[in-house]
Amino acid sequence: MTKNPTSAASSPELPVSNSPETSPPLTDSHSLKLILKERLKKNIGIKGEFYLPCLPSMLDDYLKLLSDFLKVLGQNLDAAQTENLRTLIANALTEGFKNSPHANLIVSYFPANPQTGLGGGITLNTKIQVESMAQKYHTWPDIRPEPLFGSHPDAKVMAIVAELGEAGKAAILDVGAGPGRNSLPLARLGHSVDAIELTPIFAEKLSAAALAENLPIHVTQGDVLDPLLRMKTYRYKLAIATEVLSHFRYPEQIRLFLGKMSDAVLTGGFILFSTFLAVDGYEPDEMAKQMSELCWSYLITRQELEAAIEGLPLEIIADESVMEYEQKHLPDSAWPPTPWFVSWASGRDLFPVQETPPIELRWILVKRL
């Protein structure tokens, strides 16, 4: 979609001269300099793009950014143009954000008339560029060092698995399995593993790795939140979703996920997942919530988590810091799991502060009643 919201005309303050036939030549060098500077604008070109993440809560800031930018270039938007731009940006942000937290509003700017350059006003065009999470992940194997999510399985996962009893009798569901950081070691222990993975390239990698070692892993490529994606019911002793809920978008999706897990897991079985929780006393506003999606750190409050679980046959039995647990229990050689892990899990990808951020990645262990 390309839209042309506005052309902002410049308002030069030229010295006024008399009629050319009657007036004597203008020789005042100060006036002539101003005239030349104004004349030069016809020959000044300008062209560029803003990439603005589609976060509806940022509307006023983006509007100010653009009008300040135009002002610096000597272009002033009148009230009607400002309103026009506001409506256009508001609609684009809403539309983009609905599609993905990784959508960008691209605002391009260039002279309204190439013959008059900067002197003839600037035109702004807008278009939305949507990139899904799976599209973003698709490039990871090419641009990031292996192993993408760490060389070891999560220590917390392995600690719970150790309590499950005979591996051959304890089937495990790995939701958002990625290339198999947890699925592969669990299957090597003898567990039958069903993996669900949204990003095709990861699902393919995991299938290939399982096949190469003849491991009991069955991979389904799909979205766990898709109502049409059915899972086996009453089958698993453990369901895990590690570093996955950070991609969710609404509290209703947490409830849907937990509902599906409670159908899939056996009575007495467990669901282990990691999620970013706001610390008590911090109530995230719309901007923080939208930014948390952009920063792959989808954020909920404890009240939202409790509401998501209410009425389901589930009980939260542990809630602890992922960072603290994993740092303590992983071998030294495996810490940190990736170069980005500490910043992300501590909440600093969203709040880059020296102090303690008001959110943190937590291990939530739930028992199926």
Ligand X SMILES: C[S@@+](CC[C@H](N)C(=O)[O-])C[C@H]1O[C@@H](n2cnc3c(N)ncnc32)[C@H](O)[C@@H]1O
Residues that bind ligand X (CB under 6 A): 134, 137, 149, 176-178, 181-182, 196-199, 202, 223-225, 242-244, 247
Closest to ligand X by CB, 247 vs 362, is 247
Closest distance between ligand X and the C-beta of residue 267, in Å? Answer: 25
| Alpha helix (H) residue ranges in 100-244 | 133-138, 140-143, 155-161, 183-188, 200-213
Closest CA to 244 of 331, 151, 137: 137
- Choose between 75 and 242: whose C-beta lies nearer to ligand X: 242
Give the shortest CB-154-to-ligand X separation in angstroms.
7
User: How do beta strands 265-278 and 236-241 pair?
Assistant: parallel
The smaller minimum CB distance to ligand X, of residues 41 and 247, is found at: 247
DSSP at 139: T
- Helices H / strands E in the chain, number of each: 13, 12
Give least dist CB 281 to ligand X, A.
28
Closest separation in Å from C-beta 247 to ligand X: 4
Asked whether the CA dihedral 240, 322, 247, 188 is positive or negative, the reply is: negative
Min dist. Cβ of residue 310 to ligand X (A): 22
SS3 24: coil
Strand order in the sheet with 122-129: 3-8, 122-129, 104-111, 48-53
Q: How far is the CB of 271 from ligand X (least distance, A)?
A: 14
Q: State the nearest-atom distance from the C-beta of 172 to ligand X, in Å.
A: 12
255-286 burial: b if 16+ Cβ within 10 Å, else e = bbbbebbbbbbeeebbbbbbbbbbeeeeebee
Here the tokens at position 26 are 């203008």
CB of 138 to ligand X, least distance (A): 10
Nearer to ligand X, 101 or 178 (CB): 178
Smallest CA-to-CA distance from 157 within 16, 71, 274, 38 is with 274
SS3 state at 12: coil
Q: What are the structure tokens assigned to 30, written together? A: 């100060």
**What's the chain's length in residues?**
369
For the CB of residue 149, give the shortest distance to ligand X in the complex, in Å.
3
Residue with tokens 């089958």: 235
Residue closer to ligand X by CB (options 75, 297) is: 297
Say how far apart CA 46 and CA 138 lie, in whole Å: 34
What are 29's two structure tokens? 């060098």
Are the beta carbons of 292 and 284 closer than 8 angstroms? Answer: yes
Question: Which residue lies nearer to ligand X by CB, 197 or 349?
Answer: 197
> Which CB, 125 or 220, lies closer to ligand X?
220
